[in-house]
Amino acid sequence: MRRLSGMDSILFYDIKEYERPLFEAYNGGAFLFDYTESKLDEKTVALAKGYGAVCIFVNDAAGGAVIRKLKEYGVGLVALRCSGFNNVDMAAAEQCGVRVMRVPAYSPYSVAEHAMAMLLTLNRKIHKAYIRTRDFNFSLNHLIGFDLHGKTAGVVGTGRIGRTFIGICQGFGMRVLCHDVRPDPAAGLEYAPMEQLLAESDVISLHCPLTEDTRYIIGKKAFSRMKEGCILINTSRGGLIDSEALLDALLSGKLGGACLDVYEEEAGLFYEDKSVTGVQDELLSLIVSRPNVIVTSHQAYLTKEALDEITRTTLANFRAFFGKNAEKA
C-alpha cells in the first residue's frame, strides 16, 4: 500500500471506489496519498505509522486509544470527509495536540432531497409498485398513500440541511413545526417544544448532530407521544433513534413507517455487500423486514455536487494544516 512516508503524506482510511479518482484529480501532486479500505480502529491504527495525517469517514472509530496511538506515530491531523465528528474523541485529540478538521457543509440539497425521496417512496408505495410491475402485476391493492399537502412535518434540527428540507416540505404545502436547541428567532420558522412536535406531526425528520444530549432523542417515551401513524425519517446519525424502541413502535402499529438512511450499529454493515453472507444483526434484520420501512445505506449525501465539495474542502483542510500554497483545484 505505502509508496512513501513523510510529513505531508496522508493515509485515507475506508476509501470508496468513487472517492479516489476525485482526490487524485484535485490533488495535482501537492500531497502524497495512500489508501486503505480498512476502517480506522485500534486494530488498524498501526497502518498510520509515518504519515503526517489520516483522512477518515463516518464509520471509522477515532476513540481516545486510537488518538493517542496516532500521536505516538507522528500523525498531527485527523481530517474527516464528512460533517459529523461524533466518532472522534475530541477531548483526547485536544489533550494530545492532534488537530481535527472536517467538512462542515457540502450540499444540504443532497441530504434533504434524499429524505423527501424516501418519504415519497414509502408513502406512495413506489418501491412496491416497481417490483409488481416488473412481474406484470398491475394491481393497485394495498398501494394507498396520503396527500402530503396540508399535513404537518416536524423537523428536528434547523441547520442548513434542516432548513433545506423545510423548504421542500413547504413546497408541498405542508405546515412545518421545528425544534432546535438553538432556535433562530430571525429565521421565520415555527418553533415548538419537542412534546408538541411529536404530538402534532404526521412526518418527523431528524437533521441534528449526534451528541450526548441527542443520543436516543427518539426513544420509547418519544414514540409514545407521537401521533398515531406518524412516519419517521432519519438521514443524520443512527444513534438518534433507539432501534429497539423503533421496532416496538413498528410492531405495535404506533408508527406508520420509517425511512432510515442511518443505523446506530451500521459500522461494518453499511457500505458493504452482505448479500451472500447475510448479517448477524438480528435487530436490523427485523427492522428491514417490516413492510413499512425503507433503509438506504448512508446514501443521502451521495451526489456529484456533494462529493465534489467534500473533496475540495478536504484538500483545503490539508493545505491549511500543512501550510501548502498550492492553488485551489
**SS3 per-residue string spanning the chain:** CCCCCEEEEEEECCCCCCCHHHHHHHHCCCCEEEECCCCCCCCCHHHHCCEEEEEECCCCCECHHHHHHHHHCCCCEEEECCCCCCCECHHHHHHHCCEEECCCCCCHHHHHHHHHHHHHHHHCCHHHHHHHHHCCCCCCCCCCCCCCCCCEEEEECCCHHHHHHHHHHHHCCCEEEEECCCCCCCCCCCECCHHHHHHHCCEEEECCCCCCCCCCCECHHHHHHCCCCEEEEECCCHHHECHHHHHHHHHHCCEEEEEECCCCCCCCCCCCCCCCCCCCCHHHHHHHHCCCEEECCCCCCCCHHHHHHHHHHHHHHHHHHHCCCCCCC
The residues that are catalytic are 237, 266, 298
